[in-house]
Structure 1
Amino acid sequence: MMMTIRKYRSPLPEYEVESTGIRPNHDWTFQMKKSVIIQEDEKAEFDCFVVHRSLNEPIIVRWGRHTKIIAGATLHCSKLTFESSLSNYLNMKTYLRPVSQKRQTVLAKLELLWFNVNVDILMKRMRQTESDLHVLQWRHGCEVVQEGDEVKFSKGISEYGYDGENFLSFDNKESQWVTSVDAALPTKRKWDNVPILNMYTKGYLEKECVDWLNKFREYDNEELRKASPPDVRVFARKSSDESKLKLTCLVTGFYSEDVTMTIRKYRTSLCENEVESTGIRPNHDGTFQLRKSVEINENEKSEYDCFVSHRTFKEPVIVQCGN
């Protein structure tokens, strides 16, 4: 969300404006308030310019609409209530308080409306009919790099795809939209003609997105500190070939997916093409499990072990068949 106070449609410098910053409301939405002291006879020259992803276009509110005078001639921009869209996509029950079902439904309907409207615009622009299926996709986020104890912005992503093809993407360095598709040019021109929208997109990718990513990393690390180490088990059962056993290694109850498990013979890891793996799968309690199996000769089971490493282990766990 970006909000600026403008005079003659030109944004005031940040150092001239008093800001509360983004603050939480009682219902888990957020608000922001900005103020500036002005001459009373100049109030008609000011407006409040607000950009948010849920708006089809910026909102411009002039003095006298949704404003309040406090302590004389102080201009206060309207407080805009907005949701953190990340809570729609991340299941962090103990970190982000769940939004009510009613509010989630409203958010979902708004997003659905935005996509429906824009798919309709694109279909008309490209002279397509409703008899075929059309898909509009949006992907946005950020990549960071670790430099010592700091996490720094590396790359921003905000791109649209239409019917499985690249359609429009944001060039973070140049602060403009780029496309090689003729049908996307009207959208590119429209968005580039509102520089503050591009400023907001760039600012979100470089700052707000990184801040959110750091919050989630902190949450992930905290969960790992609280988590118990995963359980490692090894067992052998009769194979379909009566002369062989099916040896299985199971590691279960871990949260972070960066687990390494190998079946070894004489402490030498077997090649992956010799081993059957389920891949990492979810458990019912939100943890994960991984299972690997191999057929062995029954009289050789003491020669095998299961080697597991995970961030919660001080050192790798090695379990032999039968232990």
Structure 2
Amino acid sequence: MQLFLALCFLLGIPSGAPEIHSLKYFLTASTQVPNFPEYVEVGLVDEHQITHFDSNTQRFVLKQDWMNQVTEELSTYSERETQRNLATQQSFKGNIEIAKERFNQTGGLHLVQYMYGCEWDDETGEVNGYEQFGFDGEDFLIYDLKTETYIAPVQQAVPTKHNWDNDKALIAYTKNYLTTDCVDWLKKYVEFGRSSLMRKDLPSVSLLQKTPSSPLTCHATGFYPDRADLFWKKDEEELHEDVVKGEILPNHDGSFQMSVDLDLSGLKDEDWGRYSCVFHLAGGQEVSKRLDKRDIRTNWKTNDGGFPTGAAAGGVVAALLLLTGCIMGLIVCLKKPPQGKVETLLVQVSSFGCSSSVISPLPFRHK
């Protein structure tokens, strides 16, 4: 399949409500990718980037001010993580060659991907862990914590699956790391970053329409965290027909945006006041905007050649939405597979780094 490389701001912050926190690491080794490091590692807490290392700079960098508390508590933290990444970088070079042999590949662009991490429910105490491997944007190997075995989505991964499943020391190490060591670090990070990670921001909500015959878009931007919903309702009833809901997307400043479209073709003029767009943030906070023609921002011209109310601002917003859509359309994100189904493991790249995986065992996880 075609593999896209694009900017991807990996951000997302939890609310103050009890919830599942996560610690994830994304690594990528690559060959012949123009203007991109051969090796990158990115660490995230609750989808918010905390660390970065790449082969160009050879430096381990903290991406949050509150992460300095880690180095104050453990003075060797940065040096140790630097050395770990240097070792992993060398291992990944060999993994690319192994993968190329398995898939009968020679030169050209190739990526080896690796993602691992854990989750912790701060209310129930339940923990979970995951580890995924990929080559050239396709699943290669996925660890199943429940069975303590590896899933091989492709035939080329079967030899590795058998070797790893039979390596009891590796299986025990992996389970212990994902359910204990990783969770301990996650709890530490959440405590250090609590004031930043627990904030809540409500969005600005706008009504946008390209042409009089286009669906009406309710657009909410600037909210935080990303556990939110946006929907149309008539009177007090949520609408499900004639409605198309978009995905939650990241903004450059770490906040989020989303939109939901409403088909107006069958809407009577006298019913406009009965419709409203509602934004709901996890925890109960809401923003509601009633449907009013005067509030619609658009860039279509009136019969006299001018623009209707809100046109200037609407044109700017529409342009920004188009730009965001183009960028996000290129982003291919790594998704954790649901129960009973193996999702495709795809490269996830940000301006700070990207995801990755390996073919041979890596005893180089963050500690």
Distance in 2 between residues matched to 1:217 and 1:110, nearest whole Å = 27
8 Å Cα contact 1:277/1:291 also seen in 2: yes
Distance in 2 between residues matched to 1:134 and 1:113, nearest whole Å = 16
Q: Which has the larger radius of gyration?
A: 1
User: Secondary structure of the residue that 2:113 maps to in structure 1?
Assistant: strand
- Identity across the alignment (%): 25
Distance in 2 between residues matched to 1:211 and 1:258, nearest whole Å = 24
8 Å Cα contact 2:42/2:49 also seen in 1: no
Match of 2:90 in 1: 113
Deviation at 1:91, TM superposition (A): 1.6
Q: 1:270 to 1:184 in 2, by over 3 A?
A: closer
- CA deviations on 1:72-114 (whole Å, 9 max, x unpaired) are xxxxxxxxxxxx9736985242432499x99999876654432
Q: Is 2:261 the counterpart of 1:284?
A: no
Deviation at 1:120, TM superposition (A): 1.5
Q: 1:283 to 1:145 in 2, by over 3 A?
A: closer
- Unmatched 5+ stretches in structure 2: 1-26, 28-40, 51-63, 72-77, 296-367
- Unmatched 5+ stretches in structure 1: 1-53, 55-83
Deviation at 1:158, TM superposition (A): 2.8
Q: 1:250 to 1:312 in 2, by over 3 A?
A: farther
User: Secondary structure of the residue that 1:202 maps to in structure 2?
Assistant: helix
Deviation at 1:302, TM superposition (A): 1.4
Q: 1:266 to 1:203 in 2, by over 3 A?
A: same
Match of 1:321 in 2: 291
Q: 1:85 to 1:200 in 2, by over 3 A?
A: farther
Larger RCO (CA within 8 A; separation ≥ 6):
2
Deviation at 1:174, TM superposition (A): 7.0
Distance in 1 between residues matched to 2:217 and 2:135, nearest whole Å = 45
Distance in 1 between residues matched to 2:158 and 2:49, nearest whole Å = 34
The 5-angstrom pairing of residues 182-201 of structure 1 reads: 185=159, 189=163, 196-201=169-174
Equivalent pairs counted in the alignment come to 229
TM-score, structure 2 as length reference = 0.47
Match of 1:203 in 2: 176
TM-score, structure 1 as length reference = 0.52
Q: Is 2:267 the counterpart of 1:309?
A: no
User: Secondary structure of the residue that 1:292 maps to in structure 2?
Assistant: strand
8 Å Cα contact 2:141/2:157 also seen in 1: no
User: Secondary structure of the residue that 1:205 maps to in structure 2?
Assistant: helix
The 5-angstrom pairing of residues 289-300 of structure 1 reads: 289-294=257-262, 295=264, 296-300=267-271
Q: Which amino acid aligns with 2:115?
A: R
The 5-angstrom pairing of residues 187-266 of structure 1 reads: 189=163, 196-215=169-188, 222-223=195-196, 225-227=198-200, 229-235=201-207, 239-241=211-213, 247-266=216-235
Deviation at 1:264, TM superposition (A): 1.5
Q: Which amino acid aligns with 2:218?
A: C
8 Å Cα contact 1:87/1:96 also seen in 2: no
| Structure showing the higher strand proportion among its residues | 1
Distance in 2 between residues matched to 1:121 and 1:238, nearest whole Å = 51
Q: Is 2:104 the counterpart of 1:128?
A: yes
